[in-house]
Amino acid sequence: MHFIKCYVRIFTMKKILIYLKDYKKETILAPLFKLLEASFELIVPLVVAAMIDTGIANEDKAFIWKMGGILVALGIIGLVCSLTAQFFAAKAAVGFTAQLRNVLFERIQKFSYRQMDELGTSTLITRMTSDMNQVQTGVNMVLRLFLRSPFIVFGAMVMAFTIDVKAALIFAVAIPLLSIVVFGIMMFSIPVYRKVQANLDKLLKNTRESLTGARVIRAFRLEKEWQEDFDANNDALRQVQNFAGKVSAFMNPVTYIVINVALVILIHVGAIRVDAGIITQGAVVALVNYMSQILVELIKLANLIVTTTKAIASGNRIADVLATVPENMDDVKMGATGEASVNSNAYPVGEADTIVEFEHVHFAFHEAKEEALSDVHFSVKPGQTIGIIGGTGSGKSTIVNLLCGFYPATKGEIRVKGKKMEDYTGKELLKNISIVPQKAVLFKGTIESNLRWGNENATTEELWEALEVAQAAEFVREKSGQLQSEVAQLGKNFSGGQRQRLSIARAIIGKKDILVLDDSTSALDYATDAALRQAIKNLKHKPTVFIVSQRATSIQYADCILVLDDGEVVGMGTHDELLKNCETYQEIYHSQYQKTGGVK
């Protein structure tokens, strides 16, 4: 049963080896030159035997020099073949890994939010880095040694039979014993190395969280607890690696024992047969050399097996990610929803000119026990401004994620411009929607390069227009480089409010039919927030705007406001209507009204 599981894992590994197809020449030439080197190496014991039996026995110095020259020539030719094989193996391994890494990164980029939640960021990083390096090393070693070592082992045995059949029977017994040891340990090692990589995932996750949340950890004085957590994960990884190392280390002494016992028997048998005049002294030396070659190659093979075992374990982890079909690939329809439930008390929906419709939509996150959204039901007309408000965890951002196709609804139906969500591809859907997420993220480059994410063909005038609407033009003009000003990684050389305004400009410049602001003005003061909303309202292309906010002042002038509480729509209407009829909205508004001193 264990053997079958190992075979299945090796078969899975084959799925990523298809990316070696562009390196067919290298994958053929690398082993070929290694076999040439091995062939020359198998000739060496015969040359030494001739040197002993003819040159030394007859005191023929010329013959000895001649054989010595042949040995040097074989060494030089073998070195050239080895270097050539190494060049082709390295080229194939590095090229294959680069292509595989590109494919893996492209696949990860297409995963939905739900799939990213399931797989986990830390394990994806590990598979892109550590696992990929293990696979590269494995491919390199296999191309160099996978054929060479078995060729020399069996070639040495064949050569031994050409010298003396009886003595060669020792080889016939030793080699199968060694094979049992090597492959037995390999079968045992594969699951151990998979566990090593899994523990590495946990350690990476712990490290990533502690680094990204360093300020929070220090603010709450939890450095000691996090250090203890890291030490625990690090110790678990150490223990598994130690166990894996012990299993691998067990291989060398066992192979040495088998080989040395075989050598003792071979020398004993050889001495008897030399005394009987059946074979010569040079033949015994040749047999010992062949046995030594087998020892060296089996040690190499053992190391190759360990490396290959790690590579197979890592390769299967990469293959598992590649086998995950993205839910929102550009050429694949969005995830289908389930059947809608019926609620006679739901809000009316279904006008012919609606641009967005949620019909009895339910949603639950992966492995969550409760729904994040329950029976959400509303419709939006083109050009309307929709406010979404509610307490923390009420489901505001979840509605945005469903609208943008980042997650498929668990039940119910979502329509955008009259078309069902599941009939859109990811690219088609986002041609109609611009979104500014909660966390404003900028990328290393310039202000202009970041803005062009929204529309790569935008003119300079259009860039400035978007900055004006987003209330960002003033601080951009103050910078010496203006649009060419440098943006550091994640925009860390800008304040939180500046990052938010640049992110809004990036979304506006796309001029999409739907604009979603997911709590993206939280770092702006009230005056700037008000100016931004007025500028968006005056946009020429009149987008349908969704404003998600925890501020009542940010959404009170919306055409319609959705009030969420614990994943349910508990109120829908204008600001004045909700102040009269919705208790949840009243609580939110009046708590903030007191804080803002009556700002409306």
pLDDT in tens, the chain (600 residues): 444 444 445 445 677 878 888 888 888 898 889 888 888 888 888 888 888 877 787 777 888 888 888 889 888 998 999 899 999 999 999 988 988 899 888 888 878 777 777 777 777 888 888 888 888 888 888 888 888 888 888 888 888 888 888 887 887 888 788 778 777 777 777 677 778 877 877 887 788 778 777 778 887 888 888 888 888 888 888 888 888 877 777 777 887 788 788 888 888 888 888 888 787 888 888 888 887 787 778 777 777 877 887 788 788 888 888 888 776 545 445 554 433 333 333 334 444 478 888 888 888 877 777 888 888 888 888 888 888 888 877 888 888 888 888 888 888 888 888 888 888 777 778 888 888 888 888 888 888 888 888 888 888 888 888 888 888 888 888 888 888 888 888 778 888 888 888 888 888 888 888 888 888 877 777 888 888 888 888 888 888 888 888 888 888 888 888 888 888 888 888 888 888 888 888 888 888 776 444 444
**Residues 6 or more apart in contact with residue 351 via CB below 8 angstroms:** 379, 381
Q: Given 3-state DSSP classes, what are the helix, strand and coil percentages for the chain, each rounded to the nearest 5? A: 65, 10, 25
Q: What is the pLDDT of residue 88?
A: 92
> What is the SS3 assignment for 564?
strand
Cα distance between residue 37 and residue 152, in whole Å = 10
**Residues 6 or more apart in contact with residue 553 via CB below 8 angstroms:** 526, 529, 530, 592, 596, 599, 600
Q: What is the pLDDT of residue 451?
A: 86
Token code pair at residue 430: 């986002």
**Residues 6 or more apart in contact with residue 60 via CB below 8 angstroms:** 54
Q: What is the pLDDT of residue 84?
A: 92
Q: What is the pLDDT of residue 31?
A: 87
Q: What is the CA radius of gyration of the chain?
A: 35
> What is the SS3 assignment for 470?
coil
Where does CATH 3.40.50.300 sit in the chain? Answer: 384-403+429-596
> What is the SS3 assignment for 510?
coil
Tell me which of 1.10.580.10, 1.10.1660.10, 1.20.1560.10, 3.40.50.140 is the CATH number of domain 12-322: 1.20.1560.10
Q: What is the pLDDT of residue 2?
A: 42
Please state the length of the chain: 600
* Nearest residue to 308 via CA among 58, 565, 93: 93
CATH of domain 384-403+429-596: 3.40.50.300
Where does CATH 1.20.1560.10 sit in the chain? Answer: 12-322
Report the DSSP pairing between strands 385-390 and 560-565: parallel
